[in-house]
Chains A and B, each alone.
Chain A
Amino acid sequence: MGSLELRDTPLASNVSLELHPTHVLTDPLAPAQSPGPAPPPSCPARKMAVSSVSCGRVRSCRLFLGVRVSLAPRQALWKASTIELQTVSRCQILRLRHTTVVTTKKNVAALRRETYTVDFIKKQIEEFNIGKRHLANMMGEDPETLTQVDIDDTYGKLLNVEKHKNQLQAKDLFSEKAKTKDLIGSRWLIKEELEEMLVEKLSDQDYVQFIQLLERLLAVPGGATGEEFVQRFRRSVTVQSNKQLIEPVQHDKQGRAFSTSHGKRKSAKAEAVVYECGSGGIQVNGMDYLLYFPVTQDREQLMFPFHFLDRLGKHDVTCTVSGGGRSAQAGAIRLAMARALCSFVTEEEVEWMRQAGLLTTDPRVRERKKPGQEGARRKFTWKKR
């Protein structure tokens, strides 16, 4: 947006402020021209690169063109527009705003197609006024007494926001570290809680918008002061540190340390006894694991906990397993072994194992078959007729 050229003339109020970048081409390199009192419509003028402003003159030019072509029958209007033209041309324009109207054949054709009815102009003027009042509200000033100068200042500031931001940064008002600390370990209020707090009904969109605004507030630089306010809308969340139940280490008759635990997968249940010192042999239901699990995949599952902790040949395991299929039994034993190993291993490693998924019971169970379908998901063959 560029500066507005508004004069407190009845005419000016009639002139709408509209941006038609398509009609106006910019020519940044051409030198600025001094404003003439009544430049002819075909005179090329200067326009700022950023702003696409239609000067009252241009507007009138267009008006002139448009009116001349399409509103010819309406004599009265034509006269009115000519009067406007003349009065406008007499205005003194303080700010230098030039617009280049390249009168190519194309442009002329486009301009001719546009018809600016009086209603249209009036509507645009009204919208402009409303916008002016909004701006006044935002800036905290009285909408009635907002002058062009104020408006120009505002927009100037908007354009220079970046500069201001740098200045603020230089002043070191940014302290984001504290914010992130507060954010961790707490959560936003849920909609019901917020409704409770405000004692009024909220819609989902309202809630979402509210949370977004709060987040933006925090994201704004120098939002440290607003933290207190924002914290009212957050609740702390206890860190669910899945504390693993670490089995106690027992000792058998010969003095060997061992540890027992259980594991489940689908419908297989396993119990594993892991001895601390050994050579890496595993006995399953009394048999060697090579014979019990002839498939390599199952043995790889058994290998996983030890391989993860780099303790491949160091422990001896005896386990019993029942139920399920071969894969389920392998998974159950793996879980049981991992849990039993926890007691021989540091807490950090326990945490690693938990993150690797070795200590979690797999919740997947066989899905129920539904009536009307062949299986849990598979439908019957679809026949068109």
Chain B
Amino acid sequence: MLKGMTRLFFRVHKLDPGHFLHIGTQVPQSLAAHLDNQVSIESLRPISRTSENDPAKHEEQHEGQHYNLPLQDMKTIFPHGLPPRFVMQVKTFNEACLMVRKPALELLHHLKNTNFAHPAVRYVLYGEKGTGKTLSLCHIIHFCAKQDWLILHIPDAHLWVKNCRDLLQSTYNKQRFDQPLEASFWLKNFKTANERFLSQIKIQEKYVWNKRESTEKGSPLGEIVEQGMTRVRNATDAVGIVLKELKRQSSLGIFHLLVAVDGVNALWGRTTLKREDKSPVAPEELALIYNLRKMVKNDWEGFDALDPFIPILVSNYNPKEFESCMQYYLENNWLQHEKAHTEEGKKELLFLSNANPGQLERLCAYL
């Protein structure tokens, strides 16, 4: 129960050299390089921040340090992806700082060295509760967004599997259930995150919604999304179409696709939803889940040669990271207790939280 899983994988294939290269780095980091040198010299004082704000450039030397996420980017990239406590922290501190950690660095390394000719690789971020899986995922998503990839981000698959108000019988397939609210909400966020792709990608089939409405072949994906958002009844189907199209078209190589699902165990676990006659619903009977599973399953073209997935363990803070986190809180004047500055106080917090990031954050909220 305690182990959660986050899974992401991306589609690699031959692609436009234009998109391959690392474009879109911001300020040339000569200044940053100078600063970094300085950092290495005065290594006695624990540094909690780095000025290197581009995830692409994060290396091992930045491990344990916080980098700043511009708030504008946050709104576009993460309309719905961040954990609520983090959002509260961002609002309080008026800045979004993510810590650079080893699992994320490892993943970045993999991503940077991917061979897009091979089929898609799947990675699973796993670990105990509160160790930082979701935030590592957000780090990766930021990187991919900066690299201009198409991001398919499902913030929490658990939300689709429990506490759903209305279940409609699916129009497409009688045995499945629709979830209009969740689907429309997700479509909205998807649109915000990937505006520019929606006009570029064209669908390859004709889809008939009902007697009066249909979408022609060749029209942009944006139309499907619009359709889903306006006609809430067909939202789930719209989501299904989006997923199918993206999967099919990613092999064409126009874009890089990153599929990030948080809480992926929900796809195979149990649901808390019930039919009208109080009998439980299996996950397969939910259309959203069904489509998502197809997405995640390794039946993409050319998948056979690869492993099912590469697991990446996310663990508690190591001492350096812990120090850095404490430093960050102290800099933001988050810890008001007198003993928080002292060594003993830090030791106490270390013991009480056992270097677990989630626990530490909850503890520090009281101080």
Contacts and interface: CB of A to CB of B under 8 A. Distances in A.
B354 A312 contact: no
Interface stretch (B145-153, B295-303, B344-352): B344-352
Interface residues of B, number: 14
A44 to B, nearest CB: 73
Interface in A298-321: 299-300, 303, 306-307, 310, 312-313
B353 A312 contact: no
A347 interface: no
A312 B351 contact: yes
Instruction: Summarize B's interface: helix, strand, loop or mixed.
Output: helix
B176 to A, nearest CB: 37
Interface string B339-362: 000001001101111101001000
A179 to B, nearest CB: 45
Nearest to B129: A291
B350 A291 contact: no
Contact of A306 (B129, B351, B353, B359): B351
Nearest to B356: A290
A310 B342 CA distance: 13
A166 interface: no
Contacts of A203: none
B315 to A, nearest CB: 11
A310 to B, nearest CB: 8
A37 interface: no
A300 B348 CA distance: 9
Given A290-B356, A291-B2, A303 B351 contact: yes
Contacts of A291: 2, 128-129
A306 B347 CA distance: 11
A288 B352 contact: no
A296 interface: yes
Contact of A300 (B128, B344, B352): B352
A307 B352 CA distance: 11
Interface in A259-302: 280-281, 288-291, 296, 299-300
A313 B2 contact: no
Interface size of A as a range: 10 to 19
Contacts of A280: 350-351
Contact of B359 (A290, A300, A307, A312): A290
Contacts of B353: 290
A296 B351 contact: no
B50 to A, nearest CB: 27
Contacts of B350: 280, 312-313
Contacts of B352: 296, 299-300, 303
A153 to B, nearest CB: 69
B347 A312 contact: yes
B168 interface: no
B310 interface: no
Interface string A91-127: 0000000000000000000000000000000000000
B252 interface: no
B363 interface: yes
Nearest to A279: B319
Contacts, number: 33
Contacts of B128: 288, 291
A280 B355 CA distance: 11
Given A288-B354, A290-B354, A303 B348 contact: yes
A294 to B, nearest CB: 9
Given A288-B354, A290-B356, A291-B128, A296 B363 contact: yes
Nearest to A299: B352
B34 to A, nearest CB: 36
B347 A289 contact: no
Contacts of A288: 128, 354
Nearest to A289: B354
A313 B351 CA distance: 8
B363 A312 contact: no
Interface in B313-367: 344, 347-348, 350-354, 356, 359, 363
A315 to B, nearest CB: 11
A290 B350 CA distance: 11
Contact of A312 (B2, B129, B348): B348
Interface string A336-352: 00000000000000000
A300 B353 CA distance: 10
Contacts of A306: 351
A312 B349 CA distance: 10
Nearest to B353: A290
A280 B354 CA distance: 9
A160 to B, nearest CB: 60
Contact of B348 (A281, A289, A290, A307): A307
A310 B344 CA distance: 8
A159 to B, nearest CB: 60
A289 B355 CA distance: 12
Nearest to A291: B2
Nearest to B316: A290
A301 B301 CA distance: 56
Contacts of A312: 344, 347-348, 350-351
Interface centre among B350, B352, B353 (most CB of A within 10 A): B352
A312 B128 CA distance: 24
Contacts of A307: 348, 351
Given A288-B354, A303-B352, A313 B359 contact: no
Given A290-B356, A291-B128, A299 B351 contact: yes
Interface string B120-155: 000000001100000000000000000000000000
7 contacts: A280-B351, A288-B128, A289-B354, A299-B352, A312-B347, A312-B348, A313-B351
Given A280-B350, A296-B363, A312-B348, 11 more contacts: A288-B128, A288-B354, A289-B354, A290-B354, A290-B356, A290-B359, A291-B2, A296-B352, A303-B348, A310-B344, A312-B344
* Nearest 9 CB-CB pairings of A with B: A290-B354, A312-B347, A303-B351, A299-B352, A312-B351, A290-B356, A313-B347, A280-B351, A291-B2
